[in-house]
Each structure stands twice: as structure tokens, then as C-alpha cells.
A and B are shown apart, each in its own frame.
Chain A
Amino acid sequence: MLGVVRQKMLGQSLPKIRPVVSVLRSYSSAAKQMTVRDSLNSALDEEMSADPKVFLMGEEVGEYQGAYKISKGLLEKYGPERVRDTPITEAGFAGIGVGAAYYGLKPVVEFMTFNFSMQAIDHIINSAAKSNYMSAGQMSVPIVFRGPNGAAAGVGAQHSQCYAAWYASCPGLKVLTPYSSEDARGLLKAAIRDPDPVVFLENELLYGESFPVSDEVLDSSFCLPIGKAKIERVGRDVTITAFSRMVGHALKAAEILEKDGIDAEVINLRSIRPLDRSTINASVRKTNRLVTVEEGFPQHGVGAEICASVVEESFAYLDAPVERIAGADIPMPYAANLERLAVPQVEDIVRAAKRACYRSVPLAAAA
């Protein structure tokens, strides 16, 4: 909560000051560093401690300490009743999780990657997302489906897909995409406390990254609001929206653009559903230019929805067509050079932002 208030103050009253994250870095205050992995682990720990109805279920979450060590130590602390190792049967255990949520428990169901959630997608959509509506409010489903989403490194076509757009198109679901450790803690806690089904899309390559976390973030009552984006970097010339790992790419692109005299505003979406259309539109009305960035496939992607929203609500403010940077429109190749071409790189974002910042009138026509 406090983290959000602080960010709003910076964003509105002092537009030239860099956002909280980099202030802490450059002045090396006593802010603690925490990995995303530890953030998720501590959030799970605290929520399980606070509410006995919360339990964790998934493959290797218990004795193995978590396939990616996100649930390390939880089995020892909470016991096998509350930290359940499942067989490799996603349709089965996701359905069991939803059933438990119907009855009033608060399951956290882990998919080892969201690629495997496709085995369980009927339960996520039909059993979880739609139930509150179909039952006119009787059957709320306070479940969290979490796990790594998107590309890792060299894991090939069946293990690299981003599911943000698919899940976010479904009413009844909430879809969150943390980037930093603060996001991880605040959003996971919010997700577990939320009475609706939440799809919580993490990223394997972010697990080991460290971010500064303030005392507020470390407090066990810390929570971030669902449906609010965060302006990671205030800017004037072009809006860049991103989520999950791509936020890091967008911030790096912004640093490069600054050297070319382009002041980019970077929005960390944090929430894909609900999408924070007002923050996005307010930003575009200020900068007049937009680049959307995502890892997933371009067609019917998150960027397409953002573009539609901006065209619908802020058309007169656009000075250039909306630019979309997304994963390549192909199954993920394995070879390292091809994989690099299939995933957005920092230079792609820089290039698109520059295109958005110049009028596309050729010199001959202007003469």
C-alpha cells in the first residue's frame, strides 16, 4: 500500500525525478536486496502463516523443495497436509484444487510451467473462471494458479509459450504478471487474498534476479492492488508498456533512448486482467506515442488489446501509429541464434520507439 502511495507522489508532483527503484540504486541506501524467488517464497510463507485455509499443491513443491525452489522450506514448516506433492496429472490436480476452492479453502496450485496448464485449462476456465457468474455469486473460487510463463533459455517449442493473452481474454479470471521482487511479493499476496481465481504468471529467468525492497515491501501486511500498473520510469516522449521480464528490457531500452534525446515512459503493467487502461491512456495522452512490448505471439496479443484501447479512447492524442514488439509469429526454435530472433531484444524496443518518435513523412514529400 505504502509503496503505491509513494510512487504516485513521485509520478505526479515531481515528474523529473527518476522512479523509486533507481533512486535506491544510485544512492545505495540501506534498502535490502531480494531475489524474486525469495520474494515469492516469503509471500507464500506469510500468507500460509496468516490463513490456515491456504495450501500449496503441485509437482515437486514439497520434498523436492520446488522445481525452481520457490516453495523451499515450506513443507518442513507447514507439513504435508498443506504442502502437497502431486503426481504428474495437471487436469486432475487442477480440478481438485478448484473443488477445494468451491468448498472454501484457498489453494495455490503450481504448474511447473504454464505450458502444462493447457492440460488443465478446462478447469481454469470452465470450472474456476465462470463459476461465480453461473451461480449468481454463490460459488466464488479463491484459487491461485501460479508458475513460470513464457520463454526460458533453449527449452524449445513446447516449453516456451506465453499464456498472458489467452488467460486475460477470459472474464472471471484475474491475470497478474510480476516483474520485480516488490511486484512478486505484493501481487502474490494480493492474489492469495483475492476471492476470485487468479492466474499468476511468473518468469523463470527472473527468479534469480535481485531487486531492492523497502521495509514496507518486507512487511507481512504488504499488498499491491490488482488492476493497477506501475510507472517504472517517468518520461515525456514515448510510452512503452511491458510486463514480466520485458519490463527489464524496456528499462534498458529507455536508457539507450535517453542518449538519443528520447525520454521514454515505461509502464510495468503488473496486471493484464484487469488491464489498467486509465494509466496507459493517461500516459499516451501525455507522450502521444506508444510501443507495446510482450514476449508472447503477436496475433490477438496483449499489445493488440492495448492498441485497441488507445485507439478507442485516445485516438486524437496519437502522433504516430502504435508500434507492437512481440515474440516472433512462429513456434519457438531451439537453436540459440534462432531463439534470439524469436524473442524481443532491447534493440527491437529501441528501434520501434525511434520509429514512433519521428513522423514517417519521407524527405522528398517534405521538400
Chain B
Amino acid sequence: MALSYLRSSSSRSVNLLKPLSSSLPLRRPISTDTTPITVETSVPFTSHQCDAPSRSVETNPKELLTFFRDMALMRRMEIAADSLYKAKLIRGFCHLYDGQEAVAVGMEAAVTKKDCIITAYRDHCTFIGRGGTLLEVFAELMGRQAGCSKGKGGSMHFYKKDSNFYGGHGIVGAQVPLGCGLAFAQKYSKDETVTFALYGDGAANQGQLFEALNISALWDLPAILVCENNHYGMGTAEWRAAKSPAYYKRGDYVPGLKVDGMDALAVKQACKFAKEHALKNGPIILEMDTYRYHGHSMSDPGSTYRTRDEISGVRQERDPIERIRKLILSHDLATEKELKDIEKEVRKEVDDTITQAKESPMPEPSELFTNVYAKGLGVESFGADRKEVRATLP
């Protein structure tokens, strides 16, 4: 899978059929080698009410290099967002995903853009994985017209319907029933596709999750609930919030799989397995054991409830990008310098996009009243002073 960073920023559609090598002006050669390589996942899968898939994953040089570049891009993007937030160019809430990139890229490697993904507010990288552009991300974060939601949504409300990314949700847990609803519609329409509904360990205790899971199991919906367990719900460690933090088992009668979420290949294998399962047997839970380097949001230092040693320990031992780097180097697929060059290039791309995003204007005041309804019926809407600012909803 290729990210649309190679495409022009104005193009929003993702062409699923064009092979990577022939599609676009390539700035540097990326391996098109699809010779299969078999890699073992870091740890075997642990399963609940099902047989675990094999820990031998088939991949190839092209995929590994794509993983590397995509994750490096996501990492750089999130770090740049941190700086923009501190410079007050991003306002409100900003929840960063650095550390969790393997979940986004591994999942995309296992599915198509016809499968649906829905997540909560830590959605920047998931959006990129679905084919969103860097410009749409940074412009949206800065509240500009070129943003994916035209500047009206903000960090927590990225969407990309044409590649079946359904957001971007601010209320903890709400996205899970919504995801089951997507799965319902997929089954109803006989599309043979699945939905991945992502949520965190903090959301895993929400009642609405169990209500939706129960219905999904009763109706055999192709819903895959993916718990991105980064072990902290804001400032609360999982053991303080959940009587049972074995989230992959919490489905009880619904099977589950525990996955090393820092291993992109394990994620890919698990998602592939889950898709096959869900299409035949209904819902399944995937627990991704992952970690966020940043605090819950930019307002949270992330160090009052966990030690700096823990954070740096994970970075040393389990960083998803480092894992792929080691794999690439050990299989001689690229040199250290080539990988560093990719990182430099990615950094430049992010910087250039930020410059471009800053030039995008703020939304026109008339945008205040657009998209309230899909069909406005000609009713009036009002500004703060209803006699001064009023508009007819289109």
C-alpha cells in the first residue's frame, strides 16, 4: 500500500487499482521487490475462544520499506504537530499517536479501502493510513480551508468517507456502536467487507461497547473491535480502571486475540485473520498491546502517572519503526544510509507541507452556516446576535 504523499494534495480519491510502480513521478526509488519473505512475529498470539493464527508472517521487501516510510512519516507528522501546538497554531485538543504507528500501517496492509475503519480522537495517523494527505492533516489542525473538514472539525474530527474512514470521534466509546452499525450496513448490503472499530483501554469499560457487541454477536455482524491498549486511559492505568485488563477476553462469548501492537507484521497477520473470521463468524476482538510516547493529549505531560524510565524503556525495546529498521537491515533490503535518507526526506516533506498548510486561508465566515443540514429546507439560522447575523440554510 502506498500513502498518497506522492499524489498532489488536491486529489482526494485513492485509486485502488493503479500499481505503485507505474503510478506517479517517484522522487526516489522504492523497492518494488515483492519476493516473499517470512518473518516471525515478536511473540506468539494469545487467543480466546478461537485458534490463534500462525506467528509466521509473509511479507516482502516492498511492504517492509513501505511500512518503514509510512511509519516514519506518521512519527514525524505527530512530532511536528507537537511543535505547532506549542506555537499555538493548533488549538483545543491534540491527541498524538506516536508509538502506535504499527497498528495503523499493519491494519492497512491487511485490508482494502472498501473495509471500514472508525476510531476515536487519536486519529491523525489512522487518517493518513486511509489515504488522507499530510496537507489535509496540518491544514485541519490549524483550522484552514485545505483541511479535511475544511477547518470546521479540528484534530478529533478527521473523516475520509471515500476511503471508508468514518472518523474521528470525541466522546469516549461512542465510535464502537457506530462501527458495529457500519458492519451492520455492510452485511445488509452484502458487500463482503468488514469494519474495524478502534478504541482504547479507557473506552474498553464503556457499557455501550458491550451492548453493541452483544447485538453484533446475535446478528453475526462483520465487526472487528480493536482495542488499542496503550495501558493508560488519560492518567489512569489499566489496572485501576478495569477489573479485568485482558481486553481480548472481555468479549466473553466473542473470540479475541492478543497482539503485539508494536509489531506491524503481527498487526497485519491479526487483522487478516480477523477479517476472514468476521466475514464467516461475526464479531471478534483484537487487543493491540501498544504504547503512546506522548501524554494523553498536549495538555497532559504524561509523566505524572508513569515513569520516564518506562517510556524510554519502551522506546528502546519495542519501538515499531526501529523494529522494521532492524528487519530491513538484517535482511539486507536497504542500507542504514538509505533508511536515514528516507527519514530525512520524510522530514522535509512534513516541513514543506506545514509551510503550505500555513498558507491556506481560514474558512470564510459564510462557512459558519454550511453543512448544518444535508437538506436545509430554507430555514433560517442565526449568529450570536440574531438580528445582525442570519442565514438561510441551504
A residues whose Cβ falls under 8 Å from a Cβ of B: 59-60, 63-64, 67, 85, 87-89, 91-92, 115-116, 118-119, 152-159, 298, 323-331, 333-338, 341-345, 348, 351-352, 355
Chain A residues closer than 8 Å to B202, beta-carbon distance: 87-88
A341, B305: Cβ atoms closer than 8 Å: no
A-binding segment of B35-43, B166-174, B265-273, B321-329: B166-174
Chain B residues closer than 8 Å to A64, beta-carbon distance: 234-236, 304-305
A88, B241: Cβ atoms closer than 8 Å: yes
B382, A60: Cβ atoms closer than 8 Å: no
**A348 CA to B92 CA in the complex, in Å?**
24
B365, A338: Cβ atoms closer than 8 Å: yes
B209 CB to nearest chain A CB (Å): 10
Contact of A298 among B206, B382, B388 (CB under 8 A): B382
Contact of A89 among B205, B305, B382 (CB under 8 A): B205
Chain A residues closer than 8 Å to B29, beta-carbon distance: none
Chain B residues closer than 8 Å to A333, beta-carbon distance: 151-152, 363, 367-368
**A325 CA to B386 CA in the complex, in Å?**
7
B207 at the interface (CB under 8 A from A): yes
If A64-B305, A325-B384, A343-B384 touch, whether A335 touches B241 (CB-CB below 8 Å) is no
- How many B residues face the partner with a CB closer than 8 A? 49
If A87-B242, A88-B233, A333-B367 touch, whether A341 touches B384 (CB-CB below 8 Å) is yes
B363, A328: Cβ atoms closer than 8 Å: no
B30 at the interface (CB under 8 A from A): no
Q: Residue on B with the closest CB to A155?
A: B92
B residues whose Cβ falls under 8 Å from a Cβ of A: 91-93, 143-144, 149, 151-157, 169-173, 202-203, 205-208, 233-236, 240-242, 304-305, 362-363, 365, 367-369, 372, 381-389
Contact of B387 among A116, A119, A152, A355 (CB under 8 A): A355
Chain B residues closer than 8 Å to A92, beta-carbon distance: 205, 207
Chain B residues closer than 8 Å to A152, beta-carbon distance: 92
Q: Residue on B with the closest CB to A327?
A: B384
B381, A330: Cβ atoms closer than 8 Å: yes
B156, A158: Cβ atoms closer than 8 Å: yes
**A328 CA to B235 CA in the complex, in Å?**
34
Chain A residues closer than 8 Å to B233, beta-carbon distance: 87-88
B240, A85: Cβ atoms closer than 8 Å: yes
Chain A residues closer than 8 Å to B235, beta-carbon distance: 60, 63-64
B207, A89: Cβ atoms closer than 8 Å: yes
Chain B residues closer than 8 Å to A352, beta-carbon distance: 385, 387
A334, B381: Cβ atoms closer than 8 Å: no
A240 CB to nearest chain B CB (Å): 13
B151, A328: Cβ atoms closer than 8 Å: no
A334, B143: Cβ atoms closer than 8 Å: yes
Contact of B171 among A119, A155, A325, A336 (CB under 8 A): A119
Chain B residues closer than 8 Å to A336, beta-carbon distance: 91, 143, 362
B381, A59: Cβ atoms closer than 8 Å: no
If A60-B235, A64-B304, A334-B154 touch, whether A158 touches B170 (CB-CB below 8 Å) is yes
B338 CB to nearest chain A CB (Å): 39
If A59-B234, A60-B236 touch, whether A334 touches B384 (CB-CB below 8 Å) is no
Chain B residues closer than 8 Å to A88, beta-carbon distance: 172-173, 202-203, 205-206, 233-234, 241
Q: Which of B151, B170, B382, B383 counts the most chain A CB atoms within 10 A?
A: B383
B385, A348: Cβ atoms closer than 8 Å: yes
If A64-B235, A343-B384 touch, whether A328 touches B171 (CB-CB below 8 Å) is no
Chain A residues closer than 8 Å to B386, beta-carbon distance: 298, 324-326, 329
**A156 CA to B372 CA in the complex, in Å?**
14
B384, A337: Cβ atoms closer than 8 Å: no
Contact of A326 among B157, B365, B368, B384 (CB under 8 A): B384
Q: Residue on A with the closest CB to B385?
A: A348
If A85-B236, A334-B154 touch, whether A115 touches B143 (CB-CB below 8 Å) is no
**A154 CA to B169 CA in the complex, in Å?**
15
If A88-B233, A323-B387, A355-B387 touch, whether A159 touches B93 (CB-CB below 8 Å) is yes
Given contacts A152-B92, A328-B368, 8 further A-B pairs with CB under 8 A are: A60-B236, A88-B234, A88-B241, A116-B171, A328-B382, A330-B372, A334-B143, A342-B383
Q: Which of B92, B202, B207 counts the most chain A CB atoms within 10 A?
A: B92
If A329-B381, A335-B144 touch, whether A348 touches B388 (CB-CB below 8 Å) is yes
Chain B residues closer than 8 Å to A116, beta-carbon distance: 171-172
B172, A154: Cβ atoms closer than 8 Å: no
